[in-house]
Amino acid sequence: MDAPSPAPADLTELLHQRGQRATPQRLVILRELRHRAHHVTADQIRTAVAQELPGMSAPTVYATLDLLVELGLARRVDAGPGAALYDARAEPHHHVVCRRCGRIDDLDGDVDTAGLRHTAERQGFVPHSVEVVITGLCPGCAPGSG
């Protein structure tokens, strides 16, 4: 199948390879990100990990999330105004955003990202990740549902 969620130990190794340090903050943030099935904001991460590591600062959260994205262990999703979202789901997946209530859900199903990547390559780009965001009305906000 697909990747069986690499253990957080990988992060330690990855960091050491780059001459960086495996701090508790980094390990805990990645674990929390993986523990969550869905996308979270930087602030939600901060709140969530406060139980394990009280006093973690916002700059640390942002820096760590950026680092995880750079390492390819997390994805950043910009879906409209407000805070950016992060997730560490192993399988590729995309999102639907309700433009009325702001709700964000996963879009399951097969997306031809290979084709999209190929198109980008033809333009000289080296694709790294593909984000698909569908804007519309969620079941709760769609007319005729309430």
Partner DNA sequence: ATTGGTGCAAATCCTTTGCAATAGC
Partner DNA sequence: GCTATTGCAAAGGATTTGCACCAAT
Binding-site ranges for DNA (CB under 7 A): 12, 15-16, 19-26, 41-43, 53, 55-60, 62-64, 66, 81-84
Query: How many residues interact with a second copy (rule CB under 8 A)?
Result: 42
Beta strand 75-77 pairing with 85-87: antiparallel
Phi-psi region of 54 (alpha: psi -120 to 50; beta: other; left: phi over 0): beta
**Which of DNA, a second copy, none sits in contact with 14, Cβ below 5 to 8 A by type?**
none
Q: Does an H or E element contain 95, and which?
A: strand 94-98
- Nearest distance, CB of residue 132 and a second copy, angstroms: 5
57 in contact with a second copy (CB under 8 A) = no
Phi, psi of 96 (to 5 degrees): -115, 130
The single-letter code of the amino acid at 66 is D
Q: Which residues contact a second copy (rule: CB under 8 A)?
A: 76, 78-81, 84, 94, 96, 98-99, 105, 107-109, 111-112, 115-117, 119-120, 122-139, 142-143, 145
